[in-house]
Amino acid sequence: MKDTIRFELNNKPQEVTIDKERTLLWVLRNDLDLTGTKYGCGMGLCGACSVLVDNKPVRSCQVTADFVDGKKVVTVEGLGTKDKLHPVQQAFVDHDALQCGYCTPGMIITATGLLYKNPSPTREEIIDAMDENFCRCGAYTRIIDAIQAASKKMKGGI
């Protein structure tokens, strides 16, 4: 059964006609070619698949497509471009806050969601908000530094 789902995707209106029970992660990656959002565990455990839905980080492997109907979705591709990086993206580059980069989109999205909610988080608040995002390469300390730097640069506003 197909349904039409309308939402805002990376600042543009988007319409898809699909089985609304499908997992958002695969709709983004396979139907909309937004492959920046990654699969890591499929069980909501690792955070690699995080996207912003109405500015809140959501694990796209854990929700169906109809969850975003009428909402605003931002994936890592919608934050900034290589020529015009979003401050969080820029901070990750400046702090070398990645190695293989596979966890990076999920980290950046979750961090951006945190900064929407709490523009000036303490180190502890960052660790708390990010703790369910895994990085096997072990870039954690640099990611914390990057988020703090981004927070300062954005001076509380996104």
Partner 1 sequence: MKKNNNNFIDLLDSTIPKGMGRRAFLKRFSGGVVIAVSLMDFQALEAAVLQEYPADLNAYLSIDKDGRVTSYTGKIEMGQGVITSLAQMIAEELDVKFSDVEMIMGDTDLCPYDRGTWGSLTTRMFGPALRSAGAEARAILLEMASEKMNVPVSELSVNEGIVFEVKNKQNKLSYAELAQGARIVKSLKNKPVLKDPKDFKIIGKSHLKVDSPDKVTGGAKYAGDIRVPGMVFAKILRPPSHAAKRIKVDVSAVQGVKEIDLIQDGDLIAVLHEDPEVAEKYLNNIKAEYDVPTSGLNENTIFDHLMNVAPEGTLISEGGNLTEGKKGAEEYLEAKFLDGYVAHSPMEPHTAMAMMENGKMKVWASTQNPFGLKSIIANELKLQEENVQVLQVFVGGGFGGKSSNGQAVEAAKLAKISGKPVMVAWTRREEFFYDTFRPAAVIKINSGCKKDGKLTLWDYGVYFAGQRGAQHFYDIPNHKTVAYNSGWTAEAGAHPFATGAWRAPSNNTNSFARESQINIMAAKIGMDPVEFRFKNLKDERMIRTLKAAVDKFGWTSIKSPSGKGWGIACGVDAGAYVALMAKINVDKSNGKVVVERVVVAQDMGLVINPQGATIQAEGCVTMGLGYALSEDIQFAGGEIHNRNFDSYEIPRFSWTPKIEVELLDLPYEPAQGGGEPAIIVMGALIANAIYDAIGVRLYQMPMTPDRILKGLKNKN
Q: Which residues bind ligand FES (CB under 6 A)?
A: 39-42, 44-49, 59, 61, 98-104, 135-137, 139
The angle subtended at Cα 156 by Cα 153 and Cα 51, nearest 5°, is: 90
**Window 88-117: contact mask with partner 1 (x via CB under 8 A):** -x--xxx-x-xxxxxxxx--x---------
Q: Quick one: which of 7, 40, 68, 121 contacts partner 1 (CB under 8 A)?
A: 40
Give the separation between CA 116 and CA 1, rounded to whole angstroms. 36
35: contact with partner 1 by CB under 8 A: yes
Nearer Cβ to ligand FES (16/109): 109
Q: In this structure, is the dihedral angle defined by the CA atoms of residues 2, 29, 22 and 116, taken in order, positive or negative?
A: negative
Give the separation between CA 55 and CA 71, rounded to whole angstroms. 10
46: DSSP letter: S
6: contact with partner 1 by CB under 8 A: no
Give the separation between CA 108 and CA 92, rounded to whole angstroms. 8
Q: Quick one: which of 1, 11, 12, 33 contacts partner 1 (CB under 8 A)?
A: 33
* Among candidate residues 26, 50, 65, the one with its CA nearest the CA of residue 112: 50
Residues that bind partner 1 (CB under 8 A): 22-23, 26, 30, 33-43, 45-46, 48, 75-77, 79-82, 85, 89, 92-94, 96, 98-105, 108, 126-128, 130-144
